[in-house]
Amino acid sequence: MKIIKAAVLVQTTISPAHPHTSKTVYSPAVELEDGSLIPYAEEGRVITSGFEEDAKSLADAYFKKLPKSVLM
């Protein structure tokens, strides 16, 4: 499966105790040719940000560092 582009994975959680409260985090990711998203991780932990723009910038930077052999 080849990587086609940089992407941002959006995750929103809702507290069962407070259903009107939600939290959204953004992770830099790559999109595979089947449409699935794989977030970047460092030292076994997925990178997250509270800001979509920051995650997009990180995703673009990581994507540029990938070897050509994994890109479509």
Report whether pLDDT(72) > 80. Answer: no
In terms of residue numbers, what domain contains 49?
A: 3-65
What separation in angstroms does the CA of 5 have from each of 9, 23, 41, 57? 13, 26, 17, 13
Whole-angstrom Cα distance, residue 12 to residue 37? 15
Number of folded domains that form the chain: 1
Kindly give, in sequence order, each residue whose CB lies less than 8 Å from that of residue 69, ignoring residues fewer than 6 positions away.
none
Q: Which structure tokens are listed for 37?
A: 């998203």
Residue 59: pLDDT over 90: yes
Q: What is the pLDDT of residues 3-50, one digit of tens each?
A: 999 999 999 999 899 989 999 999 999 999 999 999 999 898 999 999
Asked whether residue 50 is assigned to any structural domain, the reply reads yes
72: in domain = no
Q: Report whether pLDDT(68) > 90.
A: no
- Residue 70 included in any domain: no
Which pTM value belongs to this model? Answer: 0.81
pLDDT higher for 53 or 19? 53
Task: Please indicate, yes or no, if residue 22 is contained in any of the structural domains.
Answer: yes
pLDDT value of position 4: 94
